[in-house]
Amino acid sequence: MKQSMTLIPTLREIPADAEITSHQLLLRAGYIRQNASGVYSYLPLGKKVLRKIEEIIREEMDHAGAVELLMPALQQAELWQESGRWQTYGSELMRLNDRHGRDFALGATHEEVITSIIRDEVKSYKKLPLVFYQIQNKFRDEKRPRFGLLRGREFMMKDAYSFNATQESLDEVYDRIFTAYSNIFTRCGLDFRAVIADSGAMGGKDTHEFMVLSDVGEDTIAYSDTSNYAANVEMAPVITSYEKMDEPEQELTQVHTPNIKTIDEVSAFLNVESSNCIKSLLFKVDEEYVLVLVRGDHDVNDIKVKNVLDASVVELATPEETKSVLGCTIGSVGPIDLDEVTVLADHAVASITNGVCGANKEDYHFINVNPKRDFPVATFEDLRFIQEGDPSPDGEGIIQFAKGIEVGHVFKLGSRYSDAMKATYLDENGRSQTMLMGSYGIGVSRTLAAVVEQFNDEKGIVWPTNLAPFQVHLIPINIKNEDQKTVGNDLYNELKSQRFDVLMDDRQERPGVKFADSDLIGIPVRITVGKKASEGIVEVKNRKTGEVFEVNKEEIVDLLQKML
């Protein structure tokens, strides 16, 4: 492709509203332009990279036994009413009327459409399992579109759906798609983790998010420094074992702690480690009050509380509720001398000896508190957030934290949609059964942005070879110079005939402009045709390493084969 024939509108300035690197670079390097808030055009370079990601996805999904189809963006409201999501999806679902006033949704996702197709066409266990995927623009009216392609309102997605007769079959398909996703993101060159993200059963394997590690990510991942283990920070169980200090129990004593509220204040005022303080939080759990204890240096994970109690709603009690139940402010809450409030404690609390806790009385704490001796505990459980330095839940390595961009999600839907929409099949015995479903998404345009977040330097984008819009950027410095022009054109034609994908900068621009644009665009290999063109010598530069070679033009093809 000659640069004069395409549109690569590079910018020198960082666009004012672009906060993060990928957004800035994709705009500056001319890959995308915004058409409306959260709505983008992929200019020629952007579209080329998008297609490369798409092809990787297709290959891996096909390999996993998924079959491509294409469903419409226009979806009848009736389908969403059947699943119940017409009401629950809220204002993120874009809605419109056709000329006859009928209600439609713009596809935010396609569970309803695929389920309606499959319930009509598949009636027997013999035809299951089936796995379908499509690549298509989706529409979600984000409240606050931001970060360029990371959170848009129209964005490209690969979604997939499986229909299974049994749980084993669903598990098997899920594993296949999981592997496909790992392959896809690996082939995109991404540093990612498959993160446990089950919001139901603790540590379950029913949903994983694929997270690209990045400081601009909106989720926190807890991952092992040596194994594959990774989980959304809310999801990671704590397997730390705590040793009880070997010291004699002292007598429980109430002390005056004027204006001392927080763990830090208590710790400083009484000169004790925060790990020897007991943090007591009153929760309202399905209309009942429960006091949850963790160590002062730990934080309560309310999802764990909810799961332990098998509760529907877990909320921190308000100051008013705390006052009315315990007779004190939140900073003075403690577990001693409670009558009607159940006490739950994290495992770590059991190992506290002669610790400190609130006295349920303004400006007073207890010291020399010994759990069980001084107050009853209904049960010791894993109730806290995992922390950096904790052992990894899989027993291998130490937990570290990172921020992640969610680029993929695999989810066992079970019968959520097939129940609501009556997608059934006849089993071997002729009995009607509800299908089990899985749903598997990849944000294609978001993946593009995530790659840019990970592959850039101060000069611009540094594409991994297999996603780069072109393999070679060929730059005759001065196209008015006959030698340079001839050598440039000859090389262009030869490389194209050898099936290299070449972008030739045939613009009449200053060398500085050409080089800056080239670095910004980020094609892996640059070939500069300059003053030595007359001797048949050109310069080859590796965008990533910065290495530069002077090469006889006859040797270029060999060199490129090595580099690419």
Site string for a copy of itself, 147-176 (x = CB under 8 A): ------xx----------------------
Helical spans, DSSP H, in 385-481 = 416-420, 444-454
Tell me whether residue 153 or residue 347 sits nearer to a copy of itself (CB atom): 153
First to last CA, the chain: 18
Q: Are 298 and 279 in contact (CB under 8 A)?
A: yes
Name the segment binding a copy of itself (CB under 8 A); options: 69-77, 177-185, 402-410, 530-538: 69-77
State in angstroms the smallest separation of the CB of 33 from a copy of itself: 6
Give the dihedral of Cα atoms 347, 388, 308, 406; nearest 10 deg. -170
Give the containing element (helix H, strand E) for 517.
Answer: helix 511-521
Q: Which two tokens stand for residue 502?
A: 């070449």
The amino acid that residue 507 corresponds to is R
Tell me whether residue 113 or residue 260 sits nearer to a copy of itself (CB atom): 113
Among 21, 23, 46, 232, binds a copy of itself (CB under 8 A): 46
Among 84, 89, 117, 551, binds a copy of itself (CB under 8 A): 117
Name the segment binding a copy of itself (CB under 8 A); options: 93-101, 287-295, 354-362, 488-496: 93-101
Q: Using omega within 30 degrees of 0 as the cis cutoff, is the peptide bond preceding 319 cis?
A: no
Q: Does 513 bind a copy of itself (CB under 8 A)?
A: no
Q: Which residues of 516-553 are buried (b: 16+ CB within 10 A; e: fewer)?
A: bbbbbbbbbbbbbbbebbeeebbbbbebbeeeeeebeb
Name the segment binding a copy of itself (CB under 8 A); options: 3-11, 183-191, 260-268, 467-475: 3-11
Q: Does 104 bind a copy of itself (CB under 8 A)?
A: yes
Q: Does 336 bind a copy of itself (CB under 8 A)?
A: no
Q: How far apart are CA 154 and CA 50, in angstroms?
A: 15
12 SS3 class: coil
Residues 6+ apart with CB under 8 A from 93: 80, 85, 86, 105, 106, 108, 140, 141
Tell me whether residue 163 or residue 223 sits nearer to a copy of itself (CB atom): 163
Please work out the total of residues on this chain that contact a copy of itself, with binding judged by CB under 8 A: 61
Among 74, 313, 378, 513, binds a copy of itself (CB under 8 A): 74
Tell me whether residue 127 or residue 431 sits nearer to a copy of itself (CB atom): 127
Tell me whether residue 266 or residue 477 sits nearer to a copy of itself (CB atom): 477
- Environment class of 419 (CB within 10 Å of its CB; exposed 0-12, middle 13-18, buried 19+): middle
Please give the distance of CA 28 from its chain centroid, rounded to a whole number: 25
Q: Does 479 bind a copy of itself (CB under 8 A)?
A: no
Q: Which two tokens stand for residue 519?
A: 């670095």
Tell me whether residue 134 or residue 454 sits nearer to a copy of itself (CB atom): 134
Among 12, 13, 16, 70, binds a copy of itself (CB under 8 A): 70
Name the segment binding a copy of itself (CB under 8 A); options: 125-133, 245-253, 403-411, 418-426: 125-133
Which residues sit at the interface with a copy of itself, rule CB under 8 A?
A: 1, 4-7, 9, 33, 35-36, 39-44, 46-48, 50-51, 65, 67-76, 91-92, 94-96, 98-99, 104, 106, 113, 116-118, 120-122, 126-127, 130-132, 134, 137, 139, 141, 143, 153-154, 507-508
